Amino acid sequence: MLRLLLLVAVVLLLLLLLYRTDWYVTVLCLSLLALYQLYDLVHFVERTNRDLSSFLQSIRHSDFTQRFATGGANASYRELYQSFNDISDAFQKVKTQQEAHYHYLQAIVEQVGVGILTFDEEGEVQLVNHVTKELLHTAHLRSIDALLRLSPDLVQALYTIGHDEKKLVTLERNQEQLLLNLHAKELLLQGRVLKIVTLQNIQSELEEQELQTWQKVIRVLTHEIMNSVTPVISLTSTVSALLEQEVIGRRAAGESIDQEVLEDMQAGLRTIEKRSAGMLSFVKNYRRLMRLPASELRPVKVRGLLRTVHTLLQPQLQDQRVDLKMYLPDEKTEVLADAEQLEQVLINLIKNGVEACQQSATPCVEVVAFMPEGERDKLRIDVTDNGSGIPEDVLDKIFIPFYTTKKQGSGIGLSLSKQIVRQHGGSIRVRTKPGETTFTLSLKRVNGGAG
């Protein structure tokens, strides 16, 4: 009102001077003053619109830090600005609560022992935990399509898996085979369909279950076979002794015995006894799979362990004209292991390699110990031979107890090695091609060991 009254007064004074005086300079000054007052009035009236626009823009961009000063404003503006500030505070509180809930949810997801992956219909990742990143060996994941370089089958399964559906996907990561169990749930959130997928590597569980199954089978078989064979051996020995006594008695009485019949009977009894004893030894050998002592894990220097294995095998390999090459890690590199058991595993693998490359022109077995890229807490030991390779139809059976392709093999060497490595919390894998076969041990390193 004051601005309006002053403007009216200036305009009236300007009109009075125009009609009654010739003070043109004063008229010009009053005209400029009137224009400035008009501009100031319009600017003052539009102040509310500007403040409203600024407030709405800050709300639109979720910027709740803007504050409106209420100290020097008049009563009407003071009330408006206070309302703006109160609304901003309310929105800021809601935003803070949402961020707290998000971080709380993220912390829970990170503590879950299985991989969790959430993405929309376009494949844009909304949420991913560290277990998923470790399984997929990726530090950042913004889109599902980024996994095409790792496994097109996995990407296809993620896009096509339906609500409450499960799928199994085989994945190769760092020359290690994973069997991922995918389980999906779909959620409609703010008009968008989100897919929540859990990923769990069940390879080790399957192998553990398979091993336990074989152990149960072996336990039953050995029990039944030994119960049957032991009396046969005892009875055969008894019959053989009685037969011998009977022969001696008849000879003493001057009775004749058909020599050919006697020899046939003795040969048959000896054969029964020999085969029964062989079967008993056979069963005792397999019982080692069930009676493997628990691994006593201690820090073991890998360099020293490999040198010991090299010293033990070198004379034998020289006799067989097989070149054994070892690439040793740093002196400080250590793994958690039972030295004797791990030594036995390496000896088994090297001997297998030696037998496999006997027909090569220059038979060679290489042992390489190193840390795989991106996995500083693990150590890999590769045992490679230049033999003819393992046939495809045999590859999936080599770790099965009793299975062997060797004429004199027992079929428990690789199975026992796998059991030992599993007790160490590691894994053993094989890859092969014509002219090369590699067995890979993956073991836990002692923290702080050098590379």
Q: Which of 33-37, 99-103, 366-370 has the highest mean pLDDT?
A: 366-370
Answer yes or no: is pLDDT of 360 > 70.
yes
Euclidean distance between the first and final Cα of the chain, in Å? 83
Q: How confident is the model at residue 271 (pLDDT cuts 50, 70, 90)?
A: low
Q: Are β-strands 364-370 and 323-327 bridged in parallel, bridged antiparallel, or unpaired?
A: parallel
> Residue 24: which H helix or E strand, with range?
helix 24-45
State percent of the chain over pLDDT 90.
Answer: 4
CA distance 232 to 253: 31
Q: In the prediction, which pLDDT does 451 show? A: 41
pLDDT at 450 over 50: no
Domain ranges across the chain: 2-97, 112-201, 206-289, 298-444
Torsion-angle region of 202 (φ positive above 0: left; ψ -120 to 50: alpha; else: beta): alpha
Tokens of 342: 């791990």
Most confident of 18-27, 83-92, 260-269: 83-92
Q: What is the pLDDT of residues 195-250, one digit of tens each?
A: 988 888 876 666 666 666 666 666 655 655 665 566 666 666 666 676 677 667 66
Identity of residue 229: V
Selected residue with higher pLDDT from 277 and 301: 301
Rounded to whole angstroms, the Cα distance separating 187 from 194 reads 5
At residue 422, does pLDDT exceed 80? yes
Average pLDDT of the residues in 317-335: 87
Could you give the residue ranges of the DSSP H alpha helices within 46-170? 47-60, 75-111, 130-136, 152-160
Whether the pTM exceeds 0.75: the reply is no
User: What per-residue confidence (pLDDT) applies to 251?
Assistant: 66
**331 alpha carbon, distance to own chain's centre:** 28
Architecture of domain 298-444: 2-Layer Sandwich (3.30)
Rounded to whole angstroms, the Cα distance separating 238 from 235 reads 5
CATH no. of 112-201 = 3.30.450.20
Proportion of the chain above pLDDT 70, given as a percent: 73
Q: What is the pLDDT of residues 393-412, one digit of tens each?
A: 777 777 776 556 665 555 56
Instruction: Measure the CA–CA gap between 199 and 238, rounded to whole angstroms.
Output: 63
